[in-house]
Homo-oligomer: A and B are copies of this chain.
Amino acid sequence: MDLLISGGTVVTMDAEFRVIEDGAVAIEGDTIKAVGKRAELEPRARGAKIIDSSTALVTPGMINGHAHAAMSLFRGVAEDHSLNDWLQRYIFPAEANNVTEEFVFWGTRLGVLEMLRGGITTYADMYYFEDVVAQVTKEAGMRGVLGQTVVDFPAPDHKTPAAALAYAGTFIDRWTGDPLITPAIAPHSIYTVSTENLKKAAALARSKGAPILIHLAEAPFESELSRKKYGASPVAYLDQIGVLGPDVVAAHSVWVDAIDISTLVRHGVGTIHNPSSNMKLASGVMPVVDLLAAGEPVGLATDSAASNNNQDLFQEMNIAAKLQKVTRMDPRALPARQTVEMATIGGARAMHMDKKIGSLEPGKQADLILINTNATHSTPMYNVYSQLVYALNAHDVRTVVIGGKIVMENRVMMTMDKPAILAKAHEYQKKVAASLVEARVL
């Protein structure tokens, strides 16, 4: 045993939803060896580092199923616009004017830093220069499913989709087999990528066994466009052109009907709920309860800090549970435990990684977090799931372990230089603001 997380309440999120009071988690290398009572595991810990978790909840690391980490540098740059306006009038021009390899390097560091500090141990990314994203993520000791973006228009990293596809191939080859990084390909959406390029991206991913990340059925304009152009819903269209499969992770999936849902389930597609982004951009409300009832794996995500405006998965849990209740006028909808599932083992399922992460069980990767329970806003505590969803927040995360390595301990970062990252972010803020004034975007 190399590391023992000892004491407190262990919330396993295993198949029996075991919650172990005065529990412990034993770790060897990157793997969980045992989960049980402290009294049983502590005597076997000779020589191991011991982390005292006696005033904490110990939970699986949280899984952020959809993000654009580098966009953290655009946090709050344009507000109160619909998805299409926001993208076309603000974000795409802001990206064209600012996004370089160096921007992605620092932006991703900022995003990863925020995610880690909030207890996120795995994230899915869709952005540009994804090789840089992989370097930053690995250096930070974080787990990532990192999708190189393909779009039809000239992107910050590649002038043509063909160039992006070529880069994606090299990128996937370079990172395949890495213990932390899963390289992926990310055709942006059905409204920014042609049928031909969607097919090419899927073929490339499948030739290399890499996942496919895509925005799907996010907003009404997308469904309209799909029906007009392809005579089908976005889900049905992707089904028709052969893109759907058990390697696809579809972000949003707001505008899906019963037939779409059965299509997603049949193909083993994972879906990711982004409540803050969907609310803020007025994209709509994902029918999470219906999807889960149909057996569809649904994960949870922050989306980018430009449409949220933070990377706090506790807040997403909180909002997700409440949003289903009020829009269905059913207070029993999406109860707390099921919501925690979406941020942990359910998210792992949606990302096709549930054999490896998402719960605290022997044999799984040692990705776990300690969450303080001795704060005013989390006292008293009658139920751990209630507390996680409705009372606690990202700042309560005390310590983060990923693949057996301590990434943050008592809120001190072990792998990242926080002051340097924040200083660079301030520099970029000035640059971005000036560029947008110059380009008459703002």
Query: Which segment of A129-137, A362-370, A422-430 sits at the interface?
Result: A422-430
Partner of A391, one of B76, B278, B326: B76
In the complex, what distance in Å separates the CA atom of A425 from the CA atom of B377? 11
A336 in the interface (beta carbon within 8 A): yes
Partner of A76, one of B81, B83, B390: B390
Cβ–Cβ contact B393 & A393, under 8 A: yes
A259 in the interface (beta carbon within 8 A): no
Cβ–Cβ contact B310 & A280, under 8 A: no
In the complex, what distance in Å separates the CA atom of A383 from the CA atom of B306? 12
Cβ–Cβ contact A332 & B81, under 8 A: yes
Residues of B within 8 A of A433 (CB): 382
Residues of B within 8 A of A418 (CB): 376
This chain: copies in complex: 2
A176 in the interface (beta carbon within 8 A): no
A278-310 CB contacts (< 8 Å) to partner B: 278-285, 305, 308-310
A117 in the interface (beta carbon within 8 A): yes
CB-CB contacts of A71-89 with B at 8 A, as 1s and 0s? 0010111011111011000
Cβ–Cβ contact B282 & A325, under 8 A: yes
Partner of A114, one of B76, B283, B312, B376: B376
- Considering the complex, give the chain B residue whose CB is closest to the CB of A385: B79
- Considering the complex, give the chain B residue whose CB is closest to the CB of A254: B326
In the complex, what distance in Å separates the CA atom of A276 from the CA atom of B280? 16
In the complex, what distance in Å separates the CA atom of A390 from the CA atom of B311? 11
What is the interface size of chain A, counting residues whose CB is below 8 A from a CB of the partner?
A: 73
In the complex, what distance in Å separates the CA atom of A305 from the CA atom of B380? 10
Cβ–Cβ contact B325 & A391, under 8 A: no
CB-CB contacts of A407-429 with B at 8 A, as 1s and 0s? 00000000000100110011011
Cβ–Cβ contact B280 & A322, under 8 A: yes
Cβ–Cβ contact B279 & A323, under 8 A: yes
Residues of B within 8 A of A276 (CB): 318, 322
In the complex, what distance in Å separates the CA atom of A290 from the CA atom of B36? 54
Cβ–Cβ contact B325 & A76, under 8 A: no
In the complex, what distance in Å separates the CA atom of A278 from the CA atom of B326? 7
- Considering the complex, give the chain B residue whose CB is closest to the CB of A428: B380
In the complex, what distance in Å separates the CA atom of A117 from the CA atom of B395? 14
Residues of B within 8 A of A311 (CB): 377
Residues of B within 8 A of A284 (CB): 326, 329
CB-CB contacts of A59-99 with B at 8 A, as 1s and 0s? 00000000000000101110111110110000000000000
Cβ–Cβ contact B322 & A73, under 8 A: no
In the complex, what distance in Å separates the CA atom of A329 from the CA atom of B255? 13
A74 to chain B, nearest CB (A): 8
In the complex, what distance in Å separates the CA atom of A77 from the CA atom of B336? 13
A370-386 CB contacts (< 8 Å) to partner B: 374, 376-377, 379-383, 386
- Considering the complex, give the chain B residue whose CB is closest to the CB of A442: B382
In the complex, what distance in Å separates the CA atom of A374 from the CA atom of B426? 10
Cβ–Cβ contact A380 & B114, under 8 A: no
Residues of B within 8 A of A179 (CB): none
Indicate whether A331 sits within 8 Å of B422 (C-beta atoms), given known contacts A79-B386, A377-B311, A380-B429.
no
In the complex, what distance in Å separates the CA atom of A374 from the CA atom of B336? 32
List 4 A-B pairs, minimum CB-CB distance, nearest first: A380-B429, A279-B322, A76-B386, A309-B390
5 sampled A-B residue pairs with Cβ under 8 A: A75-B379, A76-B391, A83-B331, A280-B321, A280-B326
